Amino acid sequence: MERERKEGRKEGRKEGRKEGRKEGRKEGRRKEGRKEGRKEGRRKRDRTCKMWNLVTGQEIVTLKGHPNNVVSVKYCSSSCLVFSVSTSYIKVWDIRDSAKCVRTLTSSGQVVSGDACAGTTPRTVTVAQGEYQINQIALNPSGSVLYAASGNTVRTWDLNRMTALGKLTGHIGSVMCLTVGQSLLGKDQVITGSKDHYVKVFDVAEGMLGNLGPAHNFEPPHYDGIECLAIQGDQIPNAHKDWVCALAYVPGRPMLLSACRGGMLKVWNVDNFTPIGEVRGHESPINAICTNSRHIFTASSDMTVKIWSAKVGKKR
């Protein structure tokens, strides 16, 4: 009887060790699976630009073939052209012709007919010699001129002839953002924000060639880099505890929107720059704001785009 009990305990220990090893192998496979899943998720950044129907929320078309992440997109309603930025390239898409890439513009001012990145399969990390990363683009109100921020300058493009015109100079750090309006004299008023902490104003005449310096600097400078910008007026107070990284106006209303890396979205009266209200828009940094007469769109590092009602300030 005693021998049987000993044998039973021995068998039990063996079974326990076997089960332990089995569970250990399972846990190892589970950990490895989670690790592989994280890698796969990172690999699935698809380098595309998508167009959406804002009424139905359905995807219309996907614009493919960018060498790396798409960092800026603009649409010109008068020409039905879409401009998408990736690394040192601006791809020009004609959405009337099956979303075809008709031109490729480079940061150095070169123009390539068709899609210069069509054969790009692996992700491009480096920028070609003589080129610079393009950080943002903007169209003038008439849609005839495109402004592209790269390096310490902003290059101007004549979209009627698809040719490079000149440069806006004066920053000593990378130009990270820009917005374009119209001055009282009918010129393009280009406002730029840079890593050198300064916001500069350029008055650009039609067909301007060569280099053009700023007409005005906003003082005092920001004491952190500026990443996203849409400004009218002289200066913004110390609005957020976190880095202010996006600004935009609500069309037809005296309202300014500001967003920060903490995910807060604030509304300001533009007549006296006093706060109207605030809401936590995202749990991660808000990287961009876009507006129309009815809606506010916020894009965040949490990989979501939220749509807000401009009338009541609530998320839809």
Averaged pLDDT for residues 85-96: 93
Locus of tokens 């939220």: 306
Say which CATH class 226-315 falls into.
Answer: mainly beta
Phi–psi pair at 243, nearest 5 degrees: -55, 120
Task: Supply the pTM of this predicted model.
Answer: 0.66
Phi–psi pair at 152, nearest 5 degrees: -90, 5
Domain locations in the chain as residue ranges: 46-119+131-221, 226-315
Dump the DSSP string for 49-103: EEEE-TTT--EEEEE---SS---EEEEETTTTEEEEEETTEEEEEETTSSSEEEE
Dump the DSSP string for 190-249: EEEEETTS-EEEEEE-TT--EEE--SEE-SSPPSS--------SS------SSPEEEEEE
Quick one: which H or E segment has residue 179?
A: strand 175-182
Report the half-sphere exposure of 157 (CA within 13 A, side-chain side). 25
Q: Residue 220: is the preceding peptide bond cis (ω within 30°)?
A: yes
The residue that leads in pLDDT, 188 or 253, is: 188
Taking only the tens place, the pLDDT of each residue in 118-170 is: 656 677 677 888 999 998 899 998 999 999 999 999 999 999 999 999 999 99
Taking only the tens place, the pLDDT of each residue in 202-234 is: 899 988 889 999 987 755 444 444 555 544 444
Neighbouring residues of 269: CB distance < 8 A, sequence distance ≥ 6? 254, 255, 256, 275, 276
CATH 3.40.50.2020 fits 46-119+131-221, yes or no: no
- Say yes or no: do domains 46-119+131-221 and 226-315 share a fold: no
